[in-house]
Structure 1
Amino acid sequence: MCKFTNSTSSSTNIQDREVLPTNVKPLHYDLTLEPIFENFKFNGEETIEFDVNEETNYITLNSLEIDIHEAKINDVKIENFEFNEEKQIVTFRFEDYLKQGAKAYLYLKFTGELNDKMAGFYRASYQEDGKKKYMATTQMEPTDCRRAFPSYDEPSAKAKFTISLIANKDLVCISNMNEKETNLIGDDKKKVVFNTTPLLSTYLVAFIVGDLKYIENNDYDVPIRVYATDQASANLGTYAANIAAKSLKFFDSKFDIKYPLPKMDLIAVSKNFTSGAMENMGAVTFRVVDLLLDPENSDVNVKQRVTEVVIHELAHQWFGDLVTMDFWDGLWLNEGFATWMSWYACNEFYPDWKVWESYVSDSLQHALTLDALRSSHPIEVPVKRADEINQIFDAISYSKGSSLLKMISKWLGEEVFIKGVSNYLKTHAWGNTQTLNLWKALSEVSGKDVVKVMDIWTKNIGFPVVKVEEQDDSIKVTQNRFLATGDVKPEEDKVIYPVFLGLKTSQGLDESLVLDERSKTFKLPTNDDFFKINGDQSGIYRTAYESSRWQKLGKAGVDGKLSVEDRVGLVADAGSLASSGFIQTSSLLDLIKSWSNESNYVVWDEILTRIGSIKAALIFEDEEIKDALKLFTRDLISSKLNEIGWSFNESDSFANQQLKSSLFSSAVSSEDPKAVEFSKNAFKKFVNGDKLAIHPNLRATIFNCNAKFGNEETFNQLFNIYKNPQSIEEKIAALRSFGAFTDSKILDKVTGLLLQTDIVKQQDIYIPMQGLRSHKLGIEKLWSWITTNWDEVYKLLPPGLSMLGSVVTLTTSGFTKQEQKKQVEEFFKSKNTKGYDQGLAQSLDIIEAKSKWAQRDTKTIKEWLSVNGYN
């Protein structure tokens, strides 16, 4: 396990990294590949041109699951080469030394596995006309290019690539660049040669071969195509293509740098895709659900998701592809920026979505939730080995990274921030950088010491809680490390963060105040007894007030003195502080109850999320308290739900659709009789052929409801929907609902499907798990499944891939008791946790936090519910 320290200096020692020797430097790869679908292999040959940096008689490359048949250096055969499987390298040794300053040409002929691991050059399967078909595609990030061809598989080893693909003449071949020429080979094959790429890191190289169809958008300077396995599916790419055209124009303008390639392809990878999307330059690959969209038959959340994913990947074409981090400890710089930029551009395209309000309940809370665990990691995380890298593709790199950039952009001003980013991109185009390079660019354009401030935020784990003490006409604010378990040790509380206080009073928002010491006192500018810290909630910290202030801020929210972001942040802070023991949970419940007339869906989502957190902590407590919480929830939402209902029409705004969906979902989960009855009737009509009986915005909730109260017949109905869906969204909603059943035998059937990859694809294994983790029996069934099938799970999802950590977290973090935590610890005690140790540690922290919360506040919650009539 990699250990992190609370230090303001970088804890990454470059000499400790497992990287390739620098005796040579790759300049150009001339690469030809041919996928063989009959035996799931691929043939390859390449010539790599090198600069020789120092006299040497060997070259070492990354290589994994590749059989090398022939090797030559400058046309001289190499007899001596050896593999190191653990380090994933192959070393070629030769008799004659390469001279410093010379060019060298390494020729390799090899065979690889067209694997089913969603890594490297792999196969993705799908059904068409009752037949199983395959496409070959790539997923190189972070370190799987070595599965496709021997290479310098490190982000700093940028080179140019001339790629050729050999395939059946009827198949479509795609790569990063546009096609240069196509030559027929015999009667049924062709060789497609693509133009040479600009300088790219290996993780951004892409090639796809399959029976694909496309639609084309020409609203931008280069053609934009969306590819899918059939024309009907490709037609659903129209929305994404339109967003892509808007995004490329937007980024051209904002960065003042033209998109540099001659085309942009967006490819839907059918069924086998480990992440949401991958930003390969000029050839972005996606999960089907994150690219193809029927705007008339889609949930508003899905539309927003597709929009943000497309923008995110296209932002990477500049930030990540054009300019790339020099090593994986800078991953956050890629992902955090692309996440921030997707919100920024989305706000430009759809101002009525008010995405910066959602940001507070989405990105910021994801960041704070994970970073409140002792097992979190710094934004700029030290990584040394390939198996550590996948574990940092998490809410710290994405959400905390983007939240930090949001905080900086507010501090500097958005236009100044974007100008600094533009300067950074121009200065380092086609090169590699470190985080410091961006901070320097922002410092130069703003005149502020961004380097000093941001080093503290990026190189340390966690964030502070700011305690506010009221003193006549002033406030004393004190910062300490915040942990979800509420047990910070002195040695964990040494970092002093530069905290932007954002003091909001009736005079407005003062963003000049900075808490850069342990404690400071600030004079309040007014006497009207209204103030709030972290105005508009752009700071990365929690705020702990005195109990009387919580009541006053609750009233201020009702009186309209707080922005949406303020109200969301207040609920989130109260929820987090209650769960960690800083305040009693009754204070959170008082605040929530006082806002039953709230009209904003983002605030409601946060309220309902915090109630959900209480339910999750008490899931193994007696039924009485859980029933009382359901009653409280029904009462809380009843007024607003009766006002707006759950019928949708064309005049509904995005916000109204979101609010109706959110409140209806809460009504069903808290077993509101009318909502449950509606769900059952709508589902009955739906399975009897009335496909308009369920609105897309309610689909997932209605499927879950019928599963929860359903029997074997219901399972068969949902399974039939899963096997024969009208859309990919419908398929996923059905799959997720499998976990919501409460019948033990049905749940055994559900867990039995998890390893049947012909029914539940590897990429989707987590979806029914999400449903299972939502209730007590499901949590127990998940644990039984993972412990019984561990060897098979480990084989299906090897630790070098990212999904094993997610599965471990899903199958363990639902627990809430100390004895359950001990079971988890005992089971994994004898296991090799390399590659998922971070996820396991975080899961144990989550169980610990819930256990302490339940032990501390169950009685208080019961009393509050009873006093307020919910019993």
Structure 2
Amino acid sequence: MCSYTKAGTGEESGAQVAPQEREVLPTNIKPLHYDLTLEPNFDTFKFSGVETIDFQVNERTDFITLNSLEIEIHEAKLDDVPIKDIIFDTAKQTVTFKLPDHLVKGAVAKLHLKFTGELNNKMAGFYRSSYQEDGKTKYLATTQMEPTDCRRAFPSYDEPSAKAKFTISLVANRDLVCLSNMNEKETILLSDYKKKVVFNTTPLMSTYLVAFIVGDLKYVENNNYRVPIRVYATPGSEHLGQYSADIAAKTLAFFDKKFDIPYPLPKCDMVAIHDFSAGAMENFGLVTYRTVDLLIDPENTNVNTKQRVTEVVMHELAHQWFGNLVTMDFWDGLWLNEGFATWMSWYACDSLYPDWKVWESYVSDSLQHALTLDALRASHPIEVPVKRADEINQIFDAISYSKGSSLLKMISRWLGEDTFIKGVSNYLKKHKWGNTQTSDLWEALSEVSGKDVVKVMDIWTKNIGFPIVKVEENENGEITVTQNRFLATGDVKPEEDKVIYPVFLGLKTSKGIDESLVLDERSKTFKLPTDDGFFKINGDQAGIYRTAYDSSRWTKLGAAGVEGKLSVEDRVGLVADAGSLASSGFIKTSSLLDLVKSWSRESNYVVWDEILTRIGSIKGTLMFEDEATNDALKAFTRDLISTKLNEIGWEFNDSDSFADQQLKSSLFSSAANADDEKAIAYVKESFEKYIQGDKKAIHPNLRATIFNISAKHGDETTFDELFKIYRNPQSIEEKIAALRSLGRFTKPEIMDKVADLLLQTNIIKQQDIYIPMQGLRAHKGGVERLWKWLTDNWDKVYELLPPGLSMLGSVVTLGTSGFTTEEQKQNVEKFFSTKDTKGYNQGLAQSLDIITAKSKWAKRDSKVINEWLSANGYTK
């Protein structure tokens, strides 16, 4: 998915001895093979199962314990002997079979089970997904096992190190399509209307990668690759999968070559699912996606959506090697899966679509997501100790994905990209079909590079946070650099500042970048190699840290940016560092404002996005201050972008490059949000034409902005029009844009209407509840209305999104993190003080940290910001 004991390799990975505090299954037995037949019933929303598990007995024992949740077992036999003594532990999600006699070490036994499970609506395990066709509700049955929901589909040894082989059969109506990880072996007709589809046996794999689907599906395919690639969707939308099928063919061929290991399965299916809690899931050979992340019409899609779909497909396919072929030993190593797949998707995207220049946007995307979350006291290490199943979902976050990928980017630059890829290939070859720990990758990279990767990376992966590097300039052409822990709240305690990171300084001067300098102690002094006065730390922004200069150096670097001495990555990094340092109190916010004002002629969209994001952060922090400040910030934004916007406009041509399209849409969005008169007039005119039937009146690149701004200035009629678009969209992308815009209405009675829709799952799918919430969180009235909705409906929210699933944490964060004052923070703390926060405690703690940081920033710098705005002529 868009987490330490060491297993063996190959077919021999033996029993593991897990840390005592971890809730894992006993290792007295080891599953070798599952033979599983399942039949979903769309009338009762149940499924029946018949299962045989072949076990190897590791020690003399008289019991077998498996993971099982919400499954009713009707019959259990060991070989041919019935088992009567069956004990369920709901809290630990296990079932224990007490055997009539002992099993001896080294024996192989067969456990036969018959059971019934719930074809649930929780988007977990074996579940049902609904969709509308010709005015009727139809269903398909699908799976989501990661991280710990295979136990909802069938009793299993549901841990990543317990790799086994699976022979899966599905019983269904003859007119439905049945899919699983492997290709079909045979179809047996059971009656005039039923069939049994038997699939070939899988290679060794973990339970969280098992998948099966039953439904009315159609497909498109690409046959340019060695094995068939198909994209499946419900009838009528399958043609929208061709873009992703074509991407997959190029990507699999690219990874074959880079890893020097052929894709290991006989087919690759990708399926669009209407109800899906994540973005996508890398099930071996049967990858599942949200419809919006797989199905697109490339001719009627905005550039951001096209790039996202491309990267999501590449991310999931990278997992087929990194995660599926070689799997982390336990969930502590989740980052190894997700960080690597994220990095690899950027790498593949850069190679296959060089004109997109994705490494430039990486700095404002992955790196900033990582640094923003990791600057909170409530962050966690990349390698995070996990004890219970309910803790695992909480680490599918920007640390595992974005900090993980940023760390790999840093290592690949240190070692050299070719050396890095060679080390990864060696790692995959050595451990294929087995399980690993993070150190196994570091050892492979050490061997191929001759550098002590293990020592360096252990510090980065096993500690929370990252450093701020302060630069002091001396008179004799030397600089002294000092590292300390960085916190967004600016209140690091001595006991939190003991880790010394190996910081790659990447000293950029007019001679180039010196990659050899490493700050591996608290403070060091270096001689600058030139005397022309130009230098920047963290050249091309490859390191995971913030850099703080004195005020005169910020001014010089601003000038260097204008003079063309800094790369796009450098410029993005400077703005991001200045924004973060201003918000945490290391520099005055006026220094940030001076820097961005000096770059009003900037031509790169990534730099503009970062500039506008940082101004947006100031707006968000001062959201609950007086309106005059907000108006002045809008005036500043209009002035800042006016030169570039007048130069490029917002009309799109076929000749526009990827970068041109990005820049036009970014500046138009900013102008409209800052109440630019021409932009607002264009929004009104084009929206009116659109709802009158002219579907060409809104360019896909401007659609989201036009919907949002129409809502922001709209009334009940506008609401009805956007709601109608949501209910009858031209595309999935349009549907999501309309849904998000519903949260942008500012009239109280319409916000009430939107809040009332959030729990109506027949109107807004459970998976999409956060989308209108994002709209509400963007403005003051919406933030307050969202909190009222969350507190008034807490019991219903908790029931709809149970803590064992991942979405509750996201909803809590969205419902609370928009606040900016200490009093508001106390209200949040008071409300949750009486609640069981298991399963979302991390998200809540992070949200409270965010409010604290904004509160301190506003107290410290609101006067400075107002004085700057006034001095520069932006206040009325």
TM-score range, shorter chain: over 0.9
1:405 equivalent in alignment to 2:442: no
What is the one-letter code of the residue matched to 1:596? S
3-state SS of paired residue (2:265): coil
What is the one-letter code of the residue matched to 1:755? L
* 1:4 counterpart residue number: none
1:450 equivalent in alignment to 2:456: no
Q: How does 1:648-727 map to 2 (within 5 A)?
A: 648-727=652-731
Deviation digits for residues 119-148 of structure 1 (CA, Å, limit 9, x no counterpart): 000000000011000000000000000000
What is the one-letter code of the residue matched to 1:31? L
3-state SS of paired residue (1:394): coil
8 Å CA contact 2:505–2:517 kept in 1: the answer is yes
1:539 equivalent in alignment to 2:536: no
8 Å CA contact 2:18–2:24 kept in 1: the answer is no
What is the one-letter code of the residue matched to 2:606? V
- Counterpart CA distance in 2 for 1:25 and 1:94 is 16
What is the one-letter code of the residue matched to 2:440? N
3-state SS of paired residue (1:186): coil
* 1:356 counterpart residue number: 359
- Counterpart CA distance in 2 for 1:403 and 1:453 is 15
* 2:127 counterpart residue number: 122
- Counterpart CA distance in 2 for 1:41 and 1:629 is 56
3-state SS of paired residue (2:54): strand
What is the one-letter code of the residue matched to 1:424? Y
Gaps of at least 5 residues in structure 1 are: 1-11
* 2:323 counterpart residue number: 320
- Counterpart CA distance in 2 for 1:537 and 1:647 is 33
3-state SS of paired residue (2:142): strand
1:465 equivalent in alignment to 2:468: yes
1:807 equivalent in alignment to 2:811: yes
- Counterpart CA distance in 2 for 1:156 and 1:849 is 40
What is the one-letter code of the residue matched to 1:545? Y
- Counterpart CA distance in 1 for 2:293 and 2:100 is 52
Instruction: Kindly state the Cα deviation for residue 528 of structure 1 after the two structures are TM-superposed.
Output: 0.5
Gaps of at least 5 residues in structure 2 are: 1-16
Deviation digits for residues 36-86 of structure 1 (CA, Å, limit 9, x no counterpart): 000100000100000000010000000000000000011100000100000
> Which of 764, 767, 787 is equivalent to 2:768?
764
8 Å CA contact 2:57–2:105 kept in 1: the answer is yes
8 Å CA contact 2:708–2:741 kept in 1: the answer is yes
* 1:866 counterpart residue number: 870
* 2:103 counterpart residue number: 98
Q: How does 1:206-225 map to 2 (within 5 A)?
A: 206-225=211-230
Instruction: Kindly state the Cα deviation for residue 721 of structure 1 after the two structures are TM-superposed.
Output: 0.2
Deviation digits for residues 139-158 of structure 1 (CA, Å, limit 9, x no counterpart): 00000000000000000000
What is the one-letter code of the residue matched to 1:518? R
- Counterpart CA distance in 1 for 2:230 and 2:461 is 38
- Counterpart CA distance in 1 for 2:647 and 2:100 is 83
Identity percentage of aligned residues: 79
Q: How does 1:625-644 map to 2 (within 5 A)?
A: 625-644=629-648
* 2:83 counterpart residue number: 78
* 1:242 counterpart residue number: 246
- Counterpart CA distance in 2 for 1:359 and 1:106 is 49
Q: How does 1:739-818 map to 2 (within 5 A)?
A: 739-818=743-822
3-state SS of paired residue (1:344): helix
Q: How does 1:5-24 map to 2 (within 5 A)?
A: 14-24=19-29
3-state SS of paired residue (2:88): strand
3-state SS of paired residue (1:100): coil
* 1:573 counterpart residue number: 577
Aligned residues: 858
Instruction: Kindly state the Cα deviation for residue 14 of structure 1 after the two structures are TM-superposed.
Output: 2.0
* 1:433 counterpart residue number: 436
* 1:836 counterpart residue number: 840
* 1:167 counterpart residue number: 172
1:852 equivalent in alignment to 2:874: no
* 2:8 counterpart residue number: none
1:46 equivalent in alignment to 2:51: yes
* 1:821 counterpart residue number: 825
1:60 equivalent in alignment to 2:44: no
Instruction: Kindly state the Cα deviation for residue 564 of structure 1 after the two structures are TM-superposed.
Output: 0.2
- Counterpart CA distance in 1 for 2:400 and 2:304 is 23
Instruction: Kindly state the Cα deviation for residue 15 of structure 1 after the two structures are TM-superposed.
Output: 2.0
What is the one-letter code of the residue matched to 1:176? N
* 1:298 counterpart residue number: 301
- Counterpart CA distance in 1 for 2:775 and 2:750 is 13
Instruction: Kindly state the Cα deviation for residue 245 of structure 1 after the two structures are TM-superposed.
Output: 0.3
3-state SS of paired residue (2:798): helix
- Counterpart CA distance in 2 for 1:13 and 1:255 is 31
1:622 equivalent in alignment to 2:665: no
- Counterpart CA distance in 1 for 2:20 and 2:454 is 24
Q: RMSD across aligned C-alpha pairs, in angstroms?
A: 0.6
- Counterpart CA distance in 1 for 2:217 and 2:59 is 46
Instruction: Kindly state the Cα deviation for residue 99 of structure 1 after the two structures are TM-superposed.
Output: 1.0
Q: How does 1:192-207 map to 2 (within 5 A)?
A: 192-207=197-212
1:582 equivalent in alignment to 2:590: no
- Counterpart CA distance in 2 for 1:118 and 1:618 is 38
3-state SS of paired residue (1:236): helix
8 Å CA contact 2:560–2:566 kept in 1: the answer is yes
- Counterpart CA distance in 2 for 1:677 and 1:849 is 37
* 2:377 counterpart residue number: 374
Q: How does 1:103-182 map to 2 (within 5 A)?
A: 103-182=108-187
What is the one-letter code of the residue matched to 1:618? L
* 2:14 counterpart residue number: none
1:311 equivalent in alignment to 2:319: no
- Counterpart CA distance in 1 for 2:859 and 2:724 is 43
> Which of 186, 191, 195 is equivalent to 1:186?
191
3-state SS of paired residue (2:237): helix
3-state SS of paired residue (1:652): coil
What is the one-letter code of the residue matched to 1:834? K
Deviation digits for residues 804-846 of structure 1 (CA, Å, limit 9, x no counterpart): 0000000000000000000000000000000000000000000
What is the one-letter code of the residue matched to 1:597? R
What is the one-letter code of the residue matched to 1:350? Y
* 1:529 counterpart residue number: 533
* 1:385 counterpart residue number: 388
Structure 1 residues 13, 156: closer, same or farther in 2, change over 3 A? Answer: closer
- Counterpart CA distance in 2 for 1:241 and 1:415 is 28
* 1:286 counterpart residue number: 289
3-state SS of paired residue (1:58): strand
> Which of 731, 735, 752 is equivalent to 1:731?
735
- Counterpart CA distance in 2 for 1:489 and 1:45 is 57
- Counterpart CA distance in 2 for 1:286 and 1:367 is 24
- Counterpart CA distance in 2 for 1:479 and 1:161 is 51
Deviation digits for residues 470-525 of structure 1 (CA, Å, limit 9, x no counterpart): 00210000000000000000000000000000000001100000000000000000
> Which of 411, 417, 420 is equivalent to 2:420?
417
Instruction: Kindly state the Cα deviation for residue 94 of structure 1 after the two structures are TM-superposed.
Output: 1.3
* 1:9 counterpart residue number: none
Deviation digits for residues 710-731 of structure 1 (CA, Å, limit 9, x no counterpart): 0000000000000000000000
3-state SS of paired residue (1:651): coil
- Counterpart CA distance in 2 for 1:183 and 1:100 is 38
3-state SS of paired residue (2:195): strand
- Counterpart CA distance in 2 for 1:712 and 1:756 is 20
Instruction: Kindly state the Cα deviation for residue 13 of structure 1 after the two structures are TM-superposed.
Output: 7.9
- Counterpart CA distance in 1 for 2:708 and 2:261 is 47
8 Å CA contact 2:144–2:281 kept in 1: the answer is yes
- Counterpart CA distance in 2 for 1:662 and 1:224 is 35
What is the one-letter code of the residue matched to 2:524? K
Instruction: Kindly state the Cα deviation for residue 17 of structure 1 after the two structures are TM-superposed.
Output: 0.8
Instruction: Kindly state the Cα deviation for residue 233 of structure 1 after the two structures are TM-superposed.
Output: 1.1
